[in-house]
Amino acid sequence: MPATKVVVNIPGEVPYDVRIGDAVLEGLGTSLKRLPAVADAPHLLILTDTNVAPLYLDAAKASLKIAGFRVSDVVVPAGEEAKSVAVAGEVWNAMAALGLTRDCAVVALGGGVVGDLAGFVASTYMRGIPFVQVPTTLLAMVDSSVGGKTGVNLEAGKNLVGTFKQPAYVAACTTTLATLDEREWACGCAEIAKAAVIDSDEFFFWMMDHAEAMVARADAVVAEAIARSVVFKANVVAADKTESRGVRECLNYGHTLGHAVEALAGFGTFSHGAAVAEGMRFAARLGADVVGTPPELVEAQGELLDGLGLPSLAWSAPAEEMLAAMKRDKKTRGGQVRFVMPRDIGAWELVGVDDAVILEHLRAWEASK
Ligand SMILES: NC(=O)c1ccc[n+]([C@@H]2O[C@H](COP(=O)([O-])OP(=O)(O)OC[C@H]3O[C@@H](n4cnc5c(N)ncnc54)[C@H](O)[C@@H]3O)[C@@H](O)[C@H]2O)c1
Ligand SMILES: O=C(O)C(=O)C[C@@H](O)[C@H](O)[C@H](O)COP(=O)(O)O
Ligand SMILES: [Zn+2]
């Protein structure tokens, strides 16, 4: 299948390409040699994890070396726990030990964990060096590799320390998806479903019609779902790079409860996408009370998530603990938790909700488990 290119054009930033296709990894070195920010880098550092390294590190290195780059690698433990201040510290030290200077660059080879961590260390090492995203999970291809949110978790919550730093290039090689297991496949589908609900009837009903094909990983449907999600995200980020104009928060649909689930269940217990899907169900039910979310939407979204292999979680935590965890969310203002809620497919609001209303919904949520 021919590769698709989406250009991410954010005011004040150098535009960058997201290349999506099945031979993109082989062409990585050639692509970087055409990229002014990276072409002359004397040394590239590939950051990857212990699951991805045995699968794709050799191919990535080979492509970069053939193109003439000097390449080193750092392999971090696979899983959400690597998105930590401690691991970031180890990577900074490794970068210094390798003698990386400001003209060097970081290549993130992996899922959203590696991408967020690599972006964070690249944006802070020597006050910032370029980085490239080579996403290898569906989630990373459709969401985390684009838009420049980087960061690490604290015990208190997800992504509580981070930066905005756009990658210089995103190479989404769809062949790498062949080795993803079902949990991680469904995880990526959740962020696609999120994008579809927020974007439009057109995207949402396309997803409804293609949910089975997504689960079956039909090549053409997968490629289209990735491209649609990237185009959606690129447009949102172009309108509001730093989440300060009341636009980018839409990408946080499902994340208020989702992040609390991830933190309280223990990072990595549930995939990010499974937690976000749970959060989308919760936010839509809350929305029915607060912003008049139509019951048909709540139901259709539930059907889509079920169809994508994202059933409601058989897990809960006490309502008060969930509320306390949600209060640590970045969207909290003046002590009030805010939720992205769909007023309809393609129409959303970010609304502060009183604790009493949240607790009532959390108790119903807890009782449903
Ligand atoms: N920056 C953003 O805009 C943004 C957006 C969405 C999510 N995120 C973050 O991304 C993270 C989740 O990313 P994720 O779901 O990719 O998780 P992940 O990076 O932990 O990857 C999931 C698992 O799949 C493995 N893996 C990766 N690629 C593989 C492949 N091709 N074949 C087999 N195994 C592979 C990994 O080793 C890991 O065990 C969370 O920390 C979330 O907060 C960030
Ligand atoms: O890119 C964004 O903006 C997002 O919010 C995308 C989310 O899917 C992603 O999980 C992001 O990491 C959440 O960031 P946070 O700053 O709300 O923690
Ligand atoms: Zn997310």
Q: Closest-lying ligand to the alpha carbon of 262?
A: 1
52 with 172, same domain: the answer is yes
Domain assignment present for residue 175? The answer is yes
Domain assignment present for residue 219? The answer is no
Domain assignment present for residue 283? The answer is yes
Ligand 2 pocket residue status of 80, Cβ below 6 Å? no
Total domains in the chain come to 2
Q: Ligand 2, atom 3: nearest CA belongs to which residue? A: 251
- Ligand 3 midpoint to CA 68 (Å): 36
Summarised one tens digit per residue, pLDDT across range 256-315 is: 999 999 999 999 999 999 999 999 999 999 999 999 999 999 999 999 999 999 999 999
60 with 161, same domain: the answer is yes
Asked whether the predicted pLDDT for residue 2 surpasses 80, the reply is no
ipTM over 0.95: yes
Q: Which atom of ligand 2 is nearest to the CA of 116?
A: 12
247 with 127, same domain: the answer is no
Ligand 2 pocket residue status of 328, Cβ below 6 Å? no
Q: Which residue has the tokens 């208190």?
A: 156
11 with 151, same domain: the answer is yes
Domain assignment present for residue 207? The answer is yes
Decide which of 125, 159, 179 is a domain's last residue: 179
Q: What pLDDT score does 329 carry?
A: 87
Sign of CA dihedral 319, 186, 237, 158: positive
154 with 250, same domain: the answer is no
Ligand 2 pocket residue status of 190, Cβ below 6 Å? no
206 with 158, same domain: the answer is no
Q: Which atom of ligand 2 is nearest to the CA of 248?
A: 3
Q: Which atom of ligand 1 is nearest to the CA of 191?
A: 6
User: For the domain that residue 110 is a member of, what is the CATH number?
Assistant: 3.40.50.1970
The mean predicted confidence, pLDDT, of the chain is 97
Say how far apart CA 168 and CA 15 lie, in whole Å: 8
**Tokens for 360?**
């009532």
Q: Is 75 annotated as a binding residue?
A: no
- Ligand 3 midpoint to CA 43 (Å): 31
**Tokens for 180?**
């993803």
197 with 151, same domain: the answer is no
Domain that holds residue 230: 187-213+224-367
Domain assignment present for residue 62? The answer is yes
Q: Ligand 1, atom 13: nearest CA belongs to which residue? A: 112
Q: Is 158 annotated as a binding residue?
A: yes
160 with 238, same domain: the answer is no
Summarised one tens digit per residue, pLDDT across range 315-339 is: 999 999 999 999 998 999 999 999 9
235 with 359, same domain: the answer is yes
- Ligand 1 midpoint to CA 202 (Å): 27
Q: Is 37 annotated as a binding residue?
A: no
Domain assignment present for residue 247? The answer is yes
* Average pLDDT rounded to a whole number, residues 76-100: 98
Summarised one tens digit per residue, pLDDT across range 90-117 is: 999 999 999 999 999 999 999 999 999 9
Mutate to test the pocket of ligand 1, among 137, 182, 255 (most ligand atoms within 8 A of CB): 137
156 with 285, same domain: the answer is no
Asked whether the predicted pLDDT for residue 239 surpasses 80, the reply is yes
DSSP collapsed to 3 states, the chain:
CCCEEEEECCCCCCCEEEEEECCCCCCHHHHHHCCCCCCCCCCEEEEEECCCHHHHHHHHHHHHHHCCCCEEEEEECCCHHHCEHHHHHHHHHHHHHCCCCCCCEEEEEECHHHHHHHHHHHHHHHHCCCEEEEECCHHHHHHHCCCCEEEEEECCEEEEEEEECCCCCEEEEHHHHHHCCHHHHHHHHHHHHHHHHHHCHHHHHHHHHHHHHHHCCCHHHHHHHHHHHHHHHHHHHHHCCCCCCCCHHHHHCCHHHHHHHHHHHCCCCCCHHHHHHHHHHHHHHHHHHHCCCCHHHHHHHHHHHHHCCCCCCCCCCCHHHHHHHHHCCCCCECCEEEEEEEEECCEEEEEEECHHHHHHHHHHHHHCC
User: For the domain that residue 305 is a member of, what is the CATH number?
Assistant: 1.20.1090.10
Domain assignment present for residue 107? The answer is yes
193 with 172, same domain: the answer is no
Say how far apart CA 135 and CA 108 lie, in whole Å: 7
Q: Closest-lying ligand to the alpha carbon of 195?
A: 2
Domain assignment present for residue 36? The answer is yes
290 with 318, same domain: the answer is yes
* Average pLDDT rounded to a whole number, residues 231-259: 98
- Ligand 2 midpoint to CA 149 (Å): 7
- Ligand 1 midpoint to CA 199 (Å): 23
Q: Annotated active-site positions, please?
A: 127, 149, 191, 233, 243, 248, 252, 255, 259, 272
Asked whether the predicted pLDDT for residue 1 surpasses 70, the reply is no
- Look at phi and psi of residue 168 and say left if phi exceeds 0, alpha if psi is from -120 to 50, else beta: alpha
Asked whether the predicted pLDDT for residue 62 surpasses 80, the reply is yes
Q: What pLDDT score does 281 carry?
A: 98
Identify residue 285 by its one-letter amino acid code.
R
Q: Is 174 annotated as a binding residue?
A: no
